[in-house]
Amino acid sequence: MLVVMQAHATEEQVQAVCEKIEKLGFRAHAIPGAQRTAIGITGNSGAIDSGMLDEMSGVQEVIRVSKPYKLVSRDVKEESTVVSFPGSDGTFGGRDLGIIAGPCSIESREQAFAVAERVAKAGARFFRGGAYKPRTSPYAFQGMGEEALKIMAEIRDRFGLLIVTEALDYESLDLVADYADMIQIGARNMQNFSLLRRAGKLRKPVLLKRGMSATLEEFLMAAEYVLSEGNYQVVLCERGVRTFADHTRNTLDLSIVPAVQKLSHLPIMVDPSHGTGKRDKVLPLSRAAVACGADGLLIEVHHDPDHALSDGAQSILPDQFDELMGEIRQIAAVVHRHVQDPQPAGAMAKAVR
Ligand code: PEP
Ligand code: MN
């Protein structure tokens, strides 16, 4: 159910409706829009007697949301959500594309700093690096854990980059939330409902990757778990799905970008690194992702990919990342978007205030 407030409804009227909903035993989600505030109701298994809310002052109408996902839907919020970060100009979902770049895994301080310096210079605002890695084999490199989080915190101070890293489970979620600016929930965890709920209790942006066989509806429902707990800062990420095609690691499903944008107000970005698994495919699919309207890119970059401890084959070199940024800057202009200019060395430190 959705309570649509009148355009001139006061804060107090919105508050009173929220209190009424909570008193009835449900959860109220006030979602301010450009024209009016909408209040999403969750926690109800069926329809609520709308008469109780219809008559309250400031209420325009009470409508049923027929789709299974509610809070992520454009029915509830017409304007696109812009996910922003206090003290930084980095955003997802606005005119600026959110560019996340860095190695698959943090392997050492030297490696992380070498890559961070280059991606910051190239104009990325977000640095990624795995500290806890979801590996297919239990014998493969599992990540450096908290030590990697500390290295990334230093990188934020040194280069002014916002930090994005994956939480694998409850324990790592708490630690990642302490250090990172944005919490990644990986493809393998897209339907780990208890983890999604816990991420929903945090007040830090969540980067939610599409499961490797998830439908659009399952993807949106996963995001709904996070929003239903009160965390509305979610960025979706297409990273390829499994198909019969074997010329790439996964099949990058770019058509999900306009499909998400039609149904949901949440930003949707694209990861051509995991989406293709092949270094030489990352640049062409990045161009295509920006052209089709993606709100950002996630790119794996490594200064010595042949010796990377994970995902070397899909990691591009810093020089290739420079080229990628130059090209998507031009494509972004065509679709009325913008990518930050390259940064002179001196301008980088302390960009995060
Ligand atoms: C990653 O970003 O390094 C990663 C493991 O991604 P995904 O969950 O999409 O496989
Ligand atoms: Mn990876």
Three-state SS string across 71-111, please?
CCECCCCCCCCCEECCCCCCEECCCECEEEEECCECCCHHH
Ligand 1 neighbourhood includes 210 CB (under 6 angstroms): no
The residue to mutate among 219, 239, 282, having the most atoms of ligand 1 within 8 angstroms of its beta carbon, is 239
- Give residue 350's pLDDT: 54
Pairing relation of β-strands 59-63 and 126-128? unpaired
Burial of 229: CB neighbours in 10 Å, binned 0-12, 13-18, 19+:
middle
- Cα 51 to chain centroid distance, Å, stands at 38
* Residue whose pair of structure tokens reads 């998830």 in the numeric block: 214
Per DSSP, the residues of 206-257 read EEEEPPTT--HHHHHHHHHHHHHTT---EEEEE--B--S--SSSSB--TTHH
117: three-class secondary structure by DSSP: helix
CB 185 within 8 A of CB 199: yes
Show pLDDT as tens, one digit a residue, over the chain (353 residues).
999 999 999 999 999 999 999 999 999 999 998 889 999 999 887 778 878 899 999 999 999 888 899 999 999 999 999 999 999 999 999 999 999 999 999 999 999 999 999 999 999 999 999 999 999 999 999 999 999 999 999 999 999 999 999 999 999 999 999 999 999 999 999 999 999 999 999 999 999 999 999 999 999 999 999 999 999 999 999 999 999 999 999 999 999 999 999 999 999 999 999 999 999 999 999 999 999 999 999 999 999 999 999 999 999 999 999 999 999 999 999 999 999 999 987 666 555 55
Distance 116 CA to ligand 2 centre (A): 16
The residue to mutate among 141, 253, 271, 298, having the most atoms of ligand 1 within 8 angstroms of its beta carbon, is 271
H/E run at residue 286: helix 279-291
- Give residue 281's pLDDT: 98
- Give residue 21's pLDDT: 94
Residue located nearest, by CA, to atom 6 of ligand 1: 186
Q: In Å, how far are 27, 93, 125, 183, 206 from 237, measured between CA atoms?
A: 27, 12, 17, 12, 10
Atom of ligand 1 nearest to the CA of 184: 2
For residue 244, count other CB atoms closer than 10 A to its CB: 5
- Give residue 346's pLDDT: 63
Residue located nearest, by CA, to atom 8 of ligand 1: 186
268 is written with which tokens? Answer: 């949707």
Its pTM stands at 0.96
* Whole-angstrom distance, CA of residue 60 vs CA of residue 80: 22
Q: Which residues surround ligand 2, an ion (CB under 5 A)?
A: 104, 311
Nearby residues of 316 by Cβ (< 8 Å), 6 or more positions away: 273, 279, 282, 283, 299, 300, 301, 302, 305, 324
130 is written with which tokens? Answer: 């795995």
Ligand 1 neighbourhood includes 277 CB (under 6 angstroms): no
Distance 204 CA to ligand 2 centre (A): 22
